Structure 1
Amino acid sequence: MPEREVGDDRQALRADCGNCFGLCCVALTFSKSADFPVNKAAGTPCANLQQDFRCGIHQNLRQKGFSGCTVYDCFGAGQQVSQSTFNGTDWRQDPETARQMFDVFPKMRQLHELLWYLTEALALPKAHPIQADIQSALEKTQHLTQGTPAEVADTDVATHREDVSALLLRTSELARADVRRKKKDRRGADLFGARLKGADLRGVTLRGAYLIAADLRGADLRQADLLGADLRDADLRGADLTGSIFLTQSQVNAAKGDADTKLPPAVARPSHWG
């Protein structure tokens, strides 16, 4: 299993709600579903958002039907937009900038997600042959996040993501090269509800795979590429995800696990797992 270097520090890419103006509670759309009990239009503050930009039902989100909020992760984009891009001036203080702030936030979130992956890629020893390319992509992405509100809003994130994705795919291939398997590519696979209890998935590419409600109890996911995999309600009890590649907090938050689930150091065990 690949070991992380000390340089894999993504603290700045973790949400700091205390330094954010509740942007995920205002800028984004809620659709009434299993994740949200109500509809909410983009740009409209959630009814639970308080004057200090904190959630009034934060401790009871799941019980109140807002499980979608508990799995969302802005990768630190909220505090970046609030404190850096808009210099600490919130949308209530300056309503004229509100629309621009709400437009910038989703783009910043996408850029910060790419920073999460690139920072991990840079710290993977087996990606050393393309380390210079990864460093260059990381610096370019960081530069994009430091633009003015207008510059961030005009950023072609889709094109930039395509370039980064190609680099991350190459990183994944290098990181998994020592796992010899016949079938290592399950990209985009429909594994909804799949029975994969105890499965040996070491080094398998599961990026973009639909693993919704899949039974992955006790599965070995070491060195598996999980970029973009949909793990909603996937059962990860007793599964081993140490050394898995490109796993995010939001993916883990959306899944089910227990004290026996093994996670990479950069990902925290969700409180609702018990």
Structure 2
Amino acid sequence: MTAATVNWEIYEQLRTLDISDESIPDAAIASQKFRLGQAASWARWGETRHDLAPITAHSREEFQALAPLTTAVVILGLNWGGTEAGPDIIDWQTFHTKGHAGDLRLSRSLPQAFEKIPHTPGEPAPAPYMTDVFKLVPTPDGAKLRQKIQADYGTHDHVTRCAELLKTELDICTRGNEGIPPLLITLGIRAYKWLIGTEPGSAPIVQVIQSVFGGRRPTIAKIHHSSASKPDAERTTQLIAALSNHSFM
């Protein structure tokens, strides 16, 4: 059996989902409109780490010309790096940023593992969906994210907001996978701990994961973070193992 691939409707639902929130304490972010396509992507790269042509479509016809994409596997980072969100982010640009060393590591280490995703012989392996656990909370690292969550808690609950967004997002991914919840693969231990409930305050996110899987045991794995100075081959090997151990139904 081959893994399900997404259609134009699922692609567009993910890309256009409104993730804006005027209650976010960061005025620059709260005053802007954001769609999910500006905070997510697909694990396929072109000739460079920032080449979006292989994953970008503006019409049904252009989408049909793309190599297959899948939500049977969802790769999750923790959150946007840096300290701000620019006003003109291109759809699917995250994980494909020019000059970003971590994105270069991903482009070199992930694609060869996707041959383990069941697909029609002779056709390209489908590229998984990529996103972050936390949206619109840019911080340089996981420790700073924790500080930001705590500092803003009196006026805004980032965990609950992002849990609700993740629920909507993963529900769309599940529909795109013929009603089967996806295999979740985190980039690094921080995102993994938020999903499995070992990070303090992670209960809203854990509840979302349990809801998405509807009583089934959630399928969650982890590989090295993109910023970890590990050999690319280690990340590839970890991903191959996660995909090989998963039952694609």
Give the TM-score taking structure 2 as reference length.
Answer: 0.25
Give the TM-score taking structure 1 as reference length.
Answer: 0.23
Give the number of the structure whose alpha-carbon radius of gyration is greater.
1
Structure with the bigger percentage of strand? 2
Structure number with higher relative contact order (C-alpha < 8 Å, ≥ 6 residues apart): 2
